[in-house]
Amino acid sequence: MKKGFTLIEFLIILAIVGVLLSVIIPACDPDFAKRQDQSRIEHAIELIRQQEERNSQVDRAKKIYKMQQRDNLTVEQALRVLDHSIDEKDVKNGSESVLKVVK
């Protein structure tokens, strides 16, 4: 008779030990669940921040489109108006500060 284990037997033992450790270690660590929850919360906060950034980009694009349609401005002119935080009411009225920025 041969002494020792075959490769298959050894791999099965490793798999069983791995499953047991994956169940035992989290049960022995009281902070494990808290760390997992904290990680999920941080990930959710990051996703919310990214979505808010996308929403602000969409809002900016909508403002540019409205200015193009309403005031016959080019994209560059509309961007200058938005970057200088000029009120859209001033754009409609054609105030001097807007005309300086647009030109």
Write the pLDDT tens digit of every residue in 62-87. Answer: 888 887 788 777 777 777 777 766 55
Considering the entire predicted model, what is its pTM? 0.48
Tokens of 28: 């022995």
Q: Check residue 16 and give its pLDDT.
A: 97
Q: Check residue 94 and give its pLDDT.
A: 53
- Portion of the chain with pLDDT greater than 90, in percent: 28
Q: Check residue 48 and give its pLDDT.
A: 96
Distances (CA, A) of 44 to 8, 19, 21, 37, 47: 42, 29, 29, 10, 5
Cα(72)–Cα(92) distance, integer angstroms: 11
pLDDT over threshold 60, residue 95: no
- Portion of the chain with pLDDT greater than 70, in percent: 79
Counting Cα atoms < 13 Å in the Cβ hemisphere of 101 gives 22
pLDDT over threshold 90, residue 100: no
Q: Check residue 90 and give its pLDDT.
A: 56
